[in-house]
Homo-oligomer: A and B are copies of this chain.
Amino acid sequence: MSSERLIYLPLGGAGEIGMNCYVYGYGAPNAERLIVVDLGVTFPDMDTTPGVDLIFADISWLEARRDRIEAIFITHAHEDHVGAIGHLWGRLRAPVHARAFTAHHARRKMEEQGQDPAKVETASAWPETVQAGPFTVGFLPVSHSIPESSALVIDTPAGRVIHTGDFKIDMAPGVGEPFDRDLWASVAQSGVKALVCDSTNVFSPHEGRSESTLGPEITRFVAEQTGMVVATTFASNVARVKTLAEAGQAAGRSVCLLGRAMRRMIEASVETGVLSDFPSTVTPEEARDIPRESLMLLVTGSQGERRAASAQLARGKYLGLSMDEGDTFLFSSKTIPGNERGVIAIMNQFSEQGVDVQDDDDGRYHVSGHANRPDLEAMHQLVKPQIVVPMHGEHRHLREHVKLAESLGRTGVLAPNGTCVALGGNAPEVVEFVETGRTYLDGRVQIGALDGVVRDRIRMALNGHAMVTLVMDEDDSPLGDPWVDLKGLPERTADGAALSEVLEADLAQLLARAGDKTLTDDDKLDEALRRRTRQVCDTEIGRKPEVTVVVSRLS
Interface check A308, CB cutoff 8 A: no
A324-369 at interface with B (beta carbon < 8 Å)? 337-338, 340-341, 344, 347-348, 350-352, 354, 357
Check if A341 sits within 8 Å of B348, measured CB to CB: no
A462-517 at interface with B (beta carbon < 8 Å)? 462-465, 467, 469, 471, 479-480, 483, 485, 487-494
Interface check A394, CB cutoff 8 A: yes
Point out the residues of chain B lying under 8 angstroms from A442, CB to CB.
Answer: 490, 541, 543
Check if B50 sits within 8 Å of A462, measured CB to CB: yes
A432-488 at interface with B (beta carbon < 8 Å)? 442-445, 447, 451, 453-454, 456-458, 460-465, 467, 469, 471, 479-480, 483, 485, 487-488
Q: Which residue of B lies closest to A552 (CB)?
A: B471
In the bound assembly, the distance between CA atoms of A341 and B394 in angstroms comes to 12
In the bound assembly, the distance between CA atoms of A53 and B359 in angstroms comes to 33
Point out the residues of chain B lying under 8 angstroms from A463, CB to CB.
Answer: 51
Check if B395 sits within 8 Å of A552, measured CB to CB: no
Interface check A1, CB cutoff 8 A: no
Check if A443 sits within 8 Å of B554, measured CB to CB: no
Check if A394 sits within 8 Å of B348, measured CB to CB: yes
Point out the residues of chain B lying under 8 angstroms from A252, CB to CB.
Answer: none
Interface check A45, CB cutoff 8 A: yes
In the bound assembly, the distance between CA atoms of A67 and B489 in angstroms comes to 33
Check if A46 sits within 8 Å of B344, measured CB to CB: no
In the bound assembly, the distance between CA atoms of A548 and B447 in angstroms comes to 24
In the bound assembly, the distance between CA atoms of A395 and B399 in angstroms comes to 40
Q: Which residue of B lies closest to A203 (CB)?
A: B359
Check if B395 sits within 8 Å of A352, measured CB to CB: yes
Point out the residues of chain B lying under 8 angstroms from A351, CB to CB.
Answer: 394-396, 399
> Which residue, of A15, A460, A493, has the highest number of chain B Cβ atoms within 10 A?
A460
Interface check A224, CB cutoff 8 A: no
Check if B457 sits within 8 Å of A488, measured CB to CB: yes
In the bound assembly, the distance between CA atoms of A463 and B443 in angstroms comes to 10
Given A443-B543, A541-B443, A554–B348 Cβ distance below 8 Å?
A: no
In the bound assembly, the distance between CA atoms of A342 and B489 in angstroms comes to 26
Choice from B50, B51, B444, B471 contacting A494 with Cβ under 8 Å: B444
Given A396-B357, A444-B542, A445-B541, A460–B462 Cβ distance below 8 Å?
A: no
Check if A542 sits within 8 Å of B479, measured CB to CB: no
In the bound assembly, the distance between CA atoms of A45 and B454 in angstroms comes to 17
Point out the residues of chain B lying under 8 angstroms from A487, CB to CB.
Answer: 456, 460, 465, 546, 548
With both chains docked as a complex, state the minimum distance between the C-beta of A436 and any C-beta of chain B, in angstroms.
15
Q: 9 nearest interchain CB pairs?
A: A443-B542, A444-B542, A443-B543, A461-B461, A457-B488, A50-B461, A351-B396, A460-B460, A337-B340
23 contacts between A and B (CB under 8 A): A337-B341, A337-B344, A338-B344, A351-B394, A352-B395, A442-B490, A442-B543, A443-B541, A444-B543, A445-B493, A445-B542, A447-B490, A451-B491, A453-B488, A453-B491, A454-B488, A460-B461, A467-B467, A469-B552, A471-B554, A479-B554, A480-B552, A485-B550
Interface, chain A (partner B; CB < 8 A): 15, 45-47, 50-51, 337-338, 340-341, 344, 347-348, 350-352, 354, 357, 394-396, 399, 442-445, 447, 451, 453-454, 456-458, 460-465, 467, 469, 471, 479-480, 483, 485, 487-494, 541-543, 546, 548, 550, 552, 554
